[in-house]
Structure formats: C-alpha cells, structure tokens
Structure 1
Amino acid sequence: MILSDHMRIQIASFALVPDHIFIAERNFHTEKLVLILSEENKEKQTNTSEEIFSRINEVVGFYEKLNVLVEKVYVNYKNFKETTVKLARFLNRFSSDDQILLNLSGGRRSIPFSLIYAGTFISNFKDINIKCVVIPEDKTYTPFNLLPNYLPDKIDINLMLKLPQNLTLTDLEKFLGIKQPTISMRLKRLKKHGFIIVKGRKRELTDLGRLIVNIKDQRSDPNGD
C-alpha cells in the first residue's frame, strides 16, 4: 500500500527516557510519529512493563495534543533479519514526496541498526526521501543522509583517480575512451551521491571518494597498507 498524502514522518525506536523523540520533534515537525516497540511491550506483565506503558502513553499523549498521528510497530528485536525485513516493508509504503526522519537514538540497540539497514535497502530500489539523526548527550540535532546506494564502477573509479590532476574533459576523454557528454553525466552522478564535490571548474574527491580510490589502490598493490 502506498500512502497517498505526502507527509513528514518521524520513525523512532522507543526508550524509557524518550527525550530523543521530543528533541527531534523540535527540529523536524512531524505529521506522523511511528514508534518502534518490542513485541514484549504488547502486554503488561511486570512493574517495568507498567512503567513502559506509562512512558508510551506520555509520548502518545504529547503528540495527540499536537494533532499528530501515532502508529505503533511491534518487532522481535532478538531476530535482526526479521526486524529489518519488517521495517523495510514498512518504509516501502512511503513515496519520494514523503519526508522521513529515522531517529536512531534510544531503545534496543538492534532496532536502530535494523532501521538504517532497512532504509538503505529500500533506497536501492526506489527514490525515497530519508534523513537520519542520532541525538548525542549534548542534545544537538544534526541530521545526515544514508550512505549512497550507488557504487562507482570501474570507469567511475578511473575517472576519480584522475581528478587530482585537474585534467580537462578532452584529456579525460582520451584517457577513458568515452565521450565528453558521458563523462559529464558520470561526474554529475558522482557528485549527486557524495563521491566528489565541484567548485567552479575544479573537481575534488570527498572523504568517501578518497576511500573508494584508496580501496582501489590497495587492490592494485597487495603490499599496500
């Protein structure tokens, strides 16, 4: 099912101290909150469960006052693969027009890992607008993108290897054996996915781009560090 209304959605793993949810809300005003909960929390069983239910109701009540929808998704956090697939199916409901924030703070450690794996997996197959955030102890809010779902091929890597030399498109055409429009297209794609940055006519590798080039160098030189 694809949701028809374009929305801003925060997806967060629940924690007994839910500050990470409220901090994210101050910076990313949501139209829907999705709480990821353990299946163990479906029923009250112990005094701890009573406290958990109280905290869940606190979060739900806060968002109800804001007229924000709250959906609860229960997962078996002890089964990483099952949880990841379930969350990937859930993310697949959204379109590229929806704005999704994956709040990776709080809760069971395996759930944030499943969330980021699920987001990366889905982004390999469809355009989806996902940002991630981890709220540190100083409570700052610094969202970041998923790692790129596009991996440079051999031609891209050879192109990246030559960027430090500041060659012209004509020089690159001779070196790579492909036409200039194709080179320009590849440069735009590498920029889009965060492997290079462009400053005027100057092109530079990002840290991620340098990592790819270094891996290539190590594979070419078995004795490399």
Structure 2
Amino acid sequence: MNNVHNQEPTIFHVTHWKAGSQWLHRILRDIALDRIVAPQLFEKQFLIEPIVAGAIYPTVYVTKEQFESVPLPTGSKKFVVIRDLRDTLVSAYFSIRYSHAVIDKSLAEWRERLEASDIGSGLLMLMEEWLPSSARIQESWVKSGENIVRYEDLLQNDFEILEQVFIQQCGLSIGTERLREIVHDNRFENATGGRKPGEENRDSHERKGIAGDWRNYFTSGVTKNFNAQYGTLLVSAGYDLAD
C-alpha cells in the first residue's frame, strides 16, 4: 500500500463465502484502490498480519468472535453482508465445479468428486463439508443482533444501501454521484459484458447474479436435509423456510 490514510477510518467488509464478496470488493477498489488490503487465504491479512490503520479490508471471512479477537485501530468501522445459505450452497457448487481457480488441495478434491456425481449428490456433499464454515460466520453475526446487510436486498437496492453503509456508516470520503457511477459500472450486466441477471455462464465467477436460484436445483431430499441442519438459522437470518 503506497499511501495509508491515517485520518480515515479503518473499514472492514465482513462476510461469508459466495455472498457477493467479489462484487463489493470491486466497488471498494474503484472507490479507494490505494487503501485496499488484499485478501489472503485463511484470512491471514486480518488474523495474522498487523492491521493497517486507515486501510480498507474487503472480504473478511470471520465470525464475530474472530473479529473481536483482533485489536483494531480506534474508530474502526465494519459492515456485515450475508446471503441465503441455500443460494450460497448452489453458488459454491457451480464455482467449485466449474469456475474457481484451484487454489488449494481441498478445492481440487471437491471438484474431482463433484465431476463424478450428479448435482443433488454434490449439493449434499458440500452441505456437509463446505457450507458449515459459512454457516458459522453467518450464525455468529445473526445472533449478535448487529445490523446486517442482506445480499438479496443489495441486488434490489444497491446504490441506496451502499450509500448508507459506505458514506453514512463507514465514513468513506466519496460523493454520492461518484458512488452512483461506481455502483452502476459494477452491476452484473456491466461487469459481464452485457449479460442480464439470470443469464447463466457456468464458467464465469459472475455466473447468474440473481436470488432464489436454489429453487432450480434443490430436490426434495436436498431441501429436507438442508432444513434439518440449517432451517433454524435460515429463519433467524430473515429468510422463508421452504418445505
């Protein structure tokens, strides 16, 4: 980081995997690239390395307990984003199977197993082995009672929500018109070269850009298993439980 803005608040974007984190990362980079601390595997940039005062930390995948275990600069700000865990699971399935760079051994093993099974079996496997980490993060923040931004609301009302979060809540030094331009430029259609939300490209990290896609892939068996394991959390996070 070439220039640290020590007079600016240190800002943390706390979230779990597959909850629009790269979308918001791009927006934050466009707002203040010189303040961005790049994410690292296993959250080393947050949990291990010293916190840089005045920096912006996108995509911090940590529970509330982990977040509070790290000494933070005075005046630090954070915002928390969650997503329906059913869509989180489906998004992870397509990302792990098709589009995500193979960055560690576990991802390579999951991809091999997903390629050898049908989607229902693949979703059940990831529900047991991959989803718990995201669920723990989400549950810790939902239980805290703190303000949470839902990914689904961002899809419907991105500028108004981000104006409140970035400018009013976090104190980012950006005008509303410039923020509007950046948000517009990073919407799904613009980020994908013209694809409309819902138009799928399985080989792209921006695969589909919609909420509720889980309904296209959850069988009755997947739904039953999901509801048994995560139904209580789903409801407490403000989502409707499907039979």
Instruction: Say yes or no: TM over 0.5.
Output: no
TM-score scaled by length of structure 1: 0.24
- Normalised to the residue count of structure 2, the TM-score between the two structures is 0.23
